[in-house]
Amino acid sequence: MRPLLDRVELPGGPSDVRGLLRVPPGRVRLADYPTDSHPGSHGKTAALTDRHALEPVLAGLQERCYAQGHRTPDRRRLVLVLQGMDCSGKDGAIKHVVGAFNPEGVKITSFKRPTAEELRHHFLWRVERALPGPGDIGVLNRSHYEDVTVVRVHDLVPPEQWQRRYDEINEWERRESDDGVIWLKVFLHISAEEQRRRLLQRLDDPSKHWKFEAADLDERGYWDDYQRAYETVLERCSPPQSPWYVLPADRKWYRNWALARLLAETLAAMDPRYPEPDLDLSALRARLSA
Amino acid sequence: MRPLLDRVELPGGPSDVRGLLRVPPGRVRLADYPTDSHPGSHGKTAALTDRHALEPVLAGLQERCYAQGHRTPDRRRLVLVLQGMDCSGKDGAIKHVVGAFNPEGVKITSFKRPTAEELRHHFLWRVERALPGPGDIGVLNRSHYEDVTVVRVHDLVPPEQWQRRYDEINEWERRESDDGVIWLKVFLHISAEEQRRRLLQRLDDPSKHWKFEAADLDERGYWDDYQRAYETVLERCSPPQSPWYVLPADRKWYRNWALARLLAETLAAMDPRYPEPDLDLSALRARLSA
C-alpha cells in the first residue's frame, strides 16, 4: 500500500558484514587480522557497483531516522567512531562514504590534540559534546580512544590514570546507549608497509604536501606500541552493545564498501519509520485551496 | 608545471551569476523580481550537466581552502546564509548542492525558534557560535535575519528594538568580514502559488507528512508582511562586502544550479592555493625507506 513507510531492504539483499568484522570476545592479536583481505565482498568492481547502489539507501535510511528523531520522542542516533593509525583512511572514509548522507543531519567532529580548555575537563567531556541529537548521525574522527592509545604510548598521564579509563569508557558508552546512542566503532586496520606507501605518495604529490607532518614519521617508530594499545582497546571495550569492528583497510575500495555496508546494516536494523502524524488531509487541502 | 597548484578554472568558463543576482542599491520591490526566471542558465538539461561538472570543482576548491585555513595563517572562510519563505527550498539546496563538499569541512547550523538560553543572550550570540573556523565552510539555514523578519512580522520584540538590528547586523557582518568571513547571503525567492503547490505535494506523499506543520498554513496568511520585511532586509543589509543575492527559486533545477555557481564563483574568487611547506623530500623519502 505505502511502500515508503515499510521496512527498508538493502540492495543485493541482506548482508552481515557486521558479523564478519565484529571483534570476538577474548584475547586480540592484531597480527592475526589481515589488512588486505576483503571479507563479504565479491571483488572491486562489484564493490563499487554495490556502493553506488547503497548511496540512496543510506540517504533514505538517514532521512527516516532524522524524521523520527526530530518529530517523535525516539531518541536513537547512530554514532560512528573511526580510529586507526595515521594514513589508515579516516578522512577518506568520511569524504567518500559519509558524503552519501544529507550533510544537514550529520555532525562530524575531528579530535586533535586537546586544547587547554579540554584538558581542564575529564577526558570524556569533549566527546560528550560531540554526540549528535536524536535522529542525527554523529561521526567521531578519532575519539575518546585517543586517551588510551596515544596517551598510553607516550606516557601523557600516569599509568594508573589511563588504566582506569577502559572501565570509564565502558560505563559512559553504556549510559549513552541507554539514552539512545547506537555505537558503530570501526578500527581501520592497515599494515606498516601500506602506511609507508601512502606517506611516500604524499611526498610525490605537491597538492598533498600540506597533509605531511614530520611528526607522522616519528610516530611510525611507535608502531608496535600502538598496535598493542589498540589490542587492549579491542579486548576491553567491546561489550555487546558497543563492539569494535576491525576493518581491513589496505584496499580503499574495500574500506569504503565495508564501511557503507556497516552503516547500512546498522541503520536498517534500527528500522526507522517515517512518523505518521494525524493530519486532517481534506481540511488542510481545502484551507490551501482557499 | 604543477597544474594542481594553479588557479582553478570553472567548467564552461568564467560566469557571473553573482552579478546577475546581486541586489542593486536602492529601493527593493520583491514583486519586481520574477520567481520562475533562470538568469544565466541555458535551460534545465544544460544546468544539470553543468552542475554535475561543478561538483568535483567545488570539492577541489573546498579542499584548497581547508588546507590553507588549517595549515597557514589565512583566516578566510566562506559562510553561506540561506533565507526564504517556508518551502522555498533551503533544505533541498543544502542536500543537493552543499552535499558536493567534503562533509568534514562543512559546519551547518539550522536555526529554529530560539531556546531559553539563546534568548538570554544578544540575538547575534547564537549566530556567532555557528561561524566556521578558518578554511571551513559555514552554512546557516535561517540566520540572524529571522530576528528582523519573523520577529518583526509577529511583533516579538518592540519596534525600536528590531529597528536598530539592521545597523547591528551590518556592523557585526563587517567585523566578521574583517576577520576573514566571506559572506554569501542568498534569498530563495518563490511565489505564493509555488508554496501552495509544494505544501499540497507534502500532503499527497505520506513520507512527507512529518514535514507538515499546521503553523505553516498560518504563516501563509502573513505572506505580504514577510515580503515587506524581506524588502527592508535586502535594502538595508546589502553593503558591498556582504550583499544579498535574490535567487528565483520556483524551479528546483535552477535553484540548485545557480547556488552551485554562486558558491563556485565565490570560492574561485578567493583563489585558494595548496600550501607549499618547505619539505626536504629526499631526506623524508630516505627516512621512510629505512
How does pLDDT run along chain A (290 residues), one tens digit per residue? 344 557 888 998 889 999 999 999 999 999 999 999 999 999 999 999 999 999 999 999 999 999 999 999 999 999 999 999 999 999 999 999 999 999 999 999 999 999 999 999 999 999 999 999 999 999 999 999 999 999 999 999 999 999 999 999 999 999 999 999 999 999 999 999 999 999 999 999 999 999 998 888 999 999 999 999 999 999 999 999 999 999 999 999 999 999 999 999 999 999 999 999 989 999 999 999 88
Residue type, B238: S
The Cα of B288 is separated from the nearest Cα of chain A by a number of Å equal to 6
Among A6, A70, A102, which would you mutate to test the B interface (most chain B Cβ atoms within 10 Å of its Cβ)? Answer: A102
Pick from A67, A203, A275: CB nearest B284 = A203
Gap between the Cα atoms of B176 and B182, Å rounded? 8
Q: What secondary structure letter does DSSP report for A247?
A: E
Mapped to the 3 state alphabet, what secondary structure does chain B carry?
CCHHHCCCCCCCCCCCHHHHHECCCCCCCHHHCCCCCCCCCCCHHHHHHHHHHHHHHHHHHHHHHHHHHHHCCCCCEEEEEEEECCCCCHHHHHHHCHHHCCHHHEEEEECCCCCHHHHCCCCCHHHHCCCCCCCCEEEEECCHHHHHCHHHHCCCCCHHHHHCHHHHHHHHHHHHHHCCEEEEEEEEECCHHHHHHHHHHHHHCHHHHHHCCHHHHHHHCCHHHHHHHHHHHHHHCCCCCCCEEEEECCCHHHHHHHHHHHHHHHHHHHCCCCCCCCCCHHHHHHHHHC
Contacts with A4 (C-beta within 8 Å, 6 or more apart), sequence order? A274, B205, B206, B207
Residues B48, B53, B56, B58, CA torsion sign: negative
Contacting A residues, span 196-255, partner chain B, CB-CB under 8 Å: 196, 199-200, 203, 205-207, 209-212, 214, 217
Gap between the Cα atoms of B165 and A34, Å rounded? 61
Q: What secondary structure letter does DSSP report for A209?
A: G
- What is the model's pLDDT at position B5? 58
Contact criterion met (CB below 8 Å) for A152 and A142: no
Residue B130 half-sphere exposure, CB side, CA atoms within 13 Å? 21
What is the layout of strands, in order, in the sheet containing A181-189? A106-110, A137-141, A77-84, A181-189, A244-248
In angstroms, how far is CA A243 from the centroid of its own chain? 12
In angstroms, how far is CA A111 from the centroid of its own chain? 13
Gap between the Cα atoms of B188 and B252, Å rounded? 10
What is the layout of strands, in order, in the sheet containing B77-84? B106-110, B137-141, B77-84, B181-189, B244-248
Mapped to the 3 state alphabet, what secondary structure does A87-147 carry?
CCCHHHHHHHCHHHCCHHHEEEEECCCCCHHHHCCCCCHHHHCCCCCCCCEEEEECCHHHH
B110/A contact by beta carbon, under 8 A: yes
The pTM score is: 0.95
The dihedral over CA atoms of B143, B145, B149, B155, expressed in degrees to the nearest 10, equals 90
Contact criterion met (CB below 8 Å) for A21 and A189: no
Contact criterion met (CB below 8 Å) for A239 and A24: no
Pick from A94, A207, A279: CB nearest B209 = A279
Cα–Cα–Cα angle for A140, A145, A146, rounded to 5 degrees: 95
In angstroms, how far is CA B255 from the centroid of its own chain? 12
The Cα of B26 is separated from the nearest Cα of chain A by a number of Å equal to 35
The Cα of A201 is separated from the nearest Cα of chain B by a number of Å equal to 10
Residues of B in contact with A287 (CB under 8 A): 217
Residue B140, judged by CB atoms within 10 A of its CB (0-12, 13-18, 19+), counts as: buried
The C-alpha cell that represents B279 in the structure block = 619539505
The Cα of B182 is separated from the nearest Cα of chain A by a number of Å equal to 21
The Cα of A24 is separated from the nearest Cα of chain B by a number of Å equal to 31
Gap between the Cα atoms of A220 and A192, Å rounded? 8
Query: Cell numbers 578566510 label which residue?
Result: B76
- The CA radius of gyration of chain B, in Å to the nearest whole number, is 21
| pLDDT tens, chain B, 290 aa long | 344 557 888 998 889 999 999 999 999 999 999 999 999 999 999 999 999 999 999 999 999 999 999 999 999 999 999 999 999 999 999 999 999 999 999 999 999 999 999 999 999 999 999 999 999 999 999 999 999 999 999 999 999 999 999 999 999 999 999 999 999 999 999 999 999 999 999 999 999 999 998 888 999 999 999 999 999 999 999 999 999 999 999 999 999 999 999 999 999 999 999 999 989 999 999 999 88
The C-alpha cell that represents A263 in the structure block = 552503516
B115/A contact by beta carbon, under 8 A: no
Which residue spans within A131-270 are E strands per DSSP? 137-141, 181-189, 244-248
DSSP string covering A33-64, please?
A: S-SS--TT---HHHHHHHHHHHHHHHHHHHHH
Q: How many residues does chain A have?
A: 290
Instruction: Count interface pairs A-B at CB distance under 8 A.
Output: 115
Short-list A286, A282, A288, A280, CA closest to B193: A288
* Interface touch B284/A99, C-beta < 8 Å: no
Gap between the Cα atoms of A141 and A97, Å rounded? 13
- What is the model's pLDDT at position A1? 35
- What is the model's pLDDT at position B1? 35
B2/A contact by beta carbon, under 8 A: yes
Gap between the Cα atoms of A198 and A203, Å rounded? 9
The β-bridge relationship of strands B244-248 and B137-141 is unpaired
Residue of A nearest to B287 (CA): A217
Query: Cell numbers 546581486 label which residue?
Result: B22
Gap between the Cα atoms of A208 and B279, Å rounded? 12
Query: Cell numbers 540572524 label which residue?
Result: B144
pLDDT per residue as tens digits for the range B2-52: 445 578 889 988 899 999 999 999 999 999 999 999 999 999 999 999 999
Gap between the Cα atoms of B193 and A165, Å rounded? 59
- What is the model's pLDDT at position B214? 83
Element (H, E) at A172: helix A165-178
